[in-house]
């Protein structure tokens, strides 16, 4: 499997996460100092604490994706290692963060690092359990499960729009998507979900099975790849 990724973007965003987190500590420290030492500046201390909290969330958001190893792209690469060379995964160089192109088709991967039990029931996604650490991370910078199906629909539309500028409608194959939970402590129960949901260790076999169907002509695959960086 070939891997193409935007190393410059990864390094830049990793630095943003580091510096924002350090800056947040400084701003929170100022807020704490003012609240204890200068009660007459109460308004400023509250403003500093709010700003520091916001910076903490931003810092953790960037750090979770680009600052900590293994990053989501590294985890996907490791999970898919050993797939044939006619498959290429693109990280941060296509209209979406993670895009696989090969005999299995076009697959958008949406990685989630949350722990706990993930369920899909009556058109609703739920994330439960995970203990104290999960609750702490939800408060301090970790996003919830949200509406993955809505987010994926938007990403599929982005890929379609990108290729429609260069290819005819008939040349653009169906675009698929999967949710991938990278945390070993995640439990998935979403058999009725509108798209595939799986743990990281299940991803390679899933793609292998899809590749056996091989419904896309190799010339089309090469065209799709040629419009992305190599």
pLDDT in tens, 108-156: 999 998 888 888 887 888 887 655 444 444 444 455 677 888 899 999 9
Mean pLDDT of 219-226: 91
Any idea which residue has 């949200």 for tokens?
A: 146
pLDDT of residue 170: 79
Range among 12-26, 124-138, 214-228 rated most confident: 12-26
- How much is the pLDDT for 188? 87
Q: CA 9, CA 11: separation in Å to the nearest integer? A: 6
Closest CA to 71 of 140, 162, 5: 5
**Looking at residues 202-224, what average pLDDT do you find?**
89
Going edge to edge, which strands form the sheet with 105-112?
2-5, 88-91, 98-102, 105-112, 175-181, 197-199
pLDDT at 217: 82
Give backbone dihedrals phi and psi of 179, rounded to 5 degrees, phi first.
Answer: -95, 130
pLDDT given at position 130? 52
46, pLDDT greater than 80: yes
- Averaged over 168-186, what is the pLDDT? 90
Handedness of CA 221, 222, 226, 229 (dihedral sign): positive
For residue 3, what pLDDT is reported?
97
> Does the pLDDT at position 1 exceed 70?
yes
Segment 6-26 mean pLDDT: 93
* Mean pLDDT, range 200-212, rounded to an integer: 94
**Between 185 and 199, the higher pLDDT residue:** 199
Report the pLDDT value the prediction gives residue 208, as an integer from 0 to 100. Answer: 94
pLDDT at residue number 143:
55
pLDDT of residue 159: 96
Q: What percent of the chain has pLDDT over 70?
A: 93
Mean of pLDDT over the chain: 88
Residue 139, pLDDT score: 46
Backbone angles phi, psi at 227, to 5 degrees: -90, 0
């Amino acid at each position: 499997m070939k891997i193409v990724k935007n190393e410059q973007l990864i390094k830049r965003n990793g630095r943003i996460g580091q510096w924002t987190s350090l800056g947040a500590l400084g701003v929170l420290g100022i807020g704490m100092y003012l609240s204890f030492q200068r009660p007459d500046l109460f308004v400023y201390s509250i403003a500093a604490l709010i700003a520091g909290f916001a910076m903490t969330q931003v810092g953790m958001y960037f750090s979770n994706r680009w600052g900590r190893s293994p990053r989501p792209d590294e985890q996907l690469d490791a999970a898919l290692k050993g797939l044939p060379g006619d498959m290429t995964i693109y990280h941060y160089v296509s209209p979406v963060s993670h895009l696989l192109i090969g005999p299995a088709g076009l697959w958008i991967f949406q990685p989630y690092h949350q722990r706990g039990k993930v369920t899909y029931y009556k058109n609703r996604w739920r994330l439960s359990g995970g203990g104290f650490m999960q609750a702490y991370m939800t408060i301090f910078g970790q996003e919830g499960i949200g509406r993955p199906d809505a987010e994926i629909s938007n990403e599929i539309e982005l890929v379609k729009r990108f290729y429609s500028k260069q290819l005819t409608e008939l040349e653009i194959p169906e675009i698929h998507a999967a949710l991938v939970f990278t945390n070993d402590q995640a439990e998935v129960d979403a058999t009725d979900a509108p798209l595939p949901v799986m743990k990281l260790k299940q991803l390679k076999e899933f793609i292998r099975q899809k590749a056996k169907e091989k419904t896309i002509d190799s010339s089309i695959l090469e065209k799709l790849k040629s419009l992305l960086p190599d």
